[in-house]
């Protein structure tokens, strides 16, 4: 599924997406020392075992099961920004946080201060958040879903925080990827941004698109990707990890 298809399905404002991307790029030019080189992301991911945490309803039970694994600390951890708070509450510092600044800013800031690389995504609905918070962070990788060629901005693919996390990880050829908290169903997780009923309907539409994007990407990828989500319904291979 392409960006132009998503715009049509959700009736998004392409011009606002472009405006947001340009603003983020301009801000980044004034804080170049806070921008992370992609080689550091590659070094952390290539050939490694990865867990990606979405902010779906299964996040907590998935996290509790994974934490019981003897080698849990050895996994590189990538989380959607909404899931960051859940990890921080368990004193887990993710290696990467992927989002658009609509998660718990305090948790995101703490993870970033402890070494997490933060991917900030520009789109039409988060212009004010970009202006307010971007300069407060370090170790940044900045992303856009547009095809604009802008300084310091990358387009790894994907649309929602969860599926963009998958696209980002697969870019750098990990050994194995395990997906947790990636329900992509008809319920919104407690760690996702609190929204109105009307916005919730829109969110569920976005999740359907995210699900399709993940499935398409995993089929295309040569990397082994497994779904660990307790109530997940992704059309990829499920994995049930035994305790060590």
Residue 191 binned pLDDT confidence (cut-offs 50, 70, 90): confident
Domains and CATH numbers, the chain: 3-227 (3.90.1480)
Q: What is the mean pLDDT of the chain?
A: 93
pLDDT per position as a tens digit, 162-185 = 999 999 999 999 999 999 999 988
pLDDT per position as a tens digit, 85-113 = 999 999 999 999 999 998 899 999 999 99
Interior angle at CA 157, CA 125 and CA 39, nearest 5 = 110
pLDDT at 134 over 60: yes
89: phi then psi, degrees, rounded to nearest 5: -60, -25
Please say whether the dihedral angle defined by the alpha carbons of residues 108, 113, 119 and 120, taken in this order, is positive or negative.
positive
Predicted local distance difference test score (pLDDT) of residue 194:
63
Q: Could you tell me the pTM of the whole model?
A: 0.94
Predicted local distance difference test score (pLDDT) of residue 193:
65
pLDDT per position as a tens digit, 19-50 = 999 999 999 999 999 999 999 999 999 999 99
């Amino acid at each position: 599924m392409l960006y132009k298809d998503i715009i049509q399905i959700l009736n998004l404002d392409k011009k606002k997406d472009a405006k947001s991307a340009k603003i983020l790029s301009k801000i980044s030019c004034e804080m170049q020392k806070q921008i992370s080189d992609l080689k550091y992301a590659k070094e952390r991911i290539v050939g490694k075992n990865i867990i990606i945490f979405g902010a779906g309803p299964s996040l907590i039970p998935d996290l509790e099961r994974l934490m019981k694994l003897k080698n849990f600390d050895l996994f590189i951890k990538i989380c959607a920004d909404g899931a960051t708070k859940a990890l921080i509450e368990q004193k887990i510092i993710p290696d990467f946080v992927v989002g658009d600044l609509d998660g718990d800013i305090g948790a995101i800031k703490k993870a970033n201060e402890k070494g997490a690389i933060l991917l900030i995504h520009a789109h039409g609905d988060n212009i004010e958040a970009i202006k307010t918070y971007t300069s407060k962070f370090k170790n940044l990788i900045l992303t856009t879903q547009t095809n604009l060629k802008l300084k310091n901005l990358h387009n790894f693919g994907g649309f929602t925080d969860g599926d963009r996390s998958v696209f980002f990880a697969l870019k750098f050829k990990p050994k194995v990827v395990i997906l947790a908290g990636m329900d992509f169903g008809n319920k919104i997780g407690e760690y996702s941004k609190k929204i109105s009923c009307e916005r919730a309907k829109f969110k569920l539409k976005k999740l359907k698109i995210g699900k399709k994007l993940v499935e398409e990407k995993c089929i295309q990828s040569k990397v082994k990707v497994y779904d660990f989500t307790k109530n997940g319904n992704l059309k990829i291979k499920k994995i049930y990890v035994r305790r060590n």
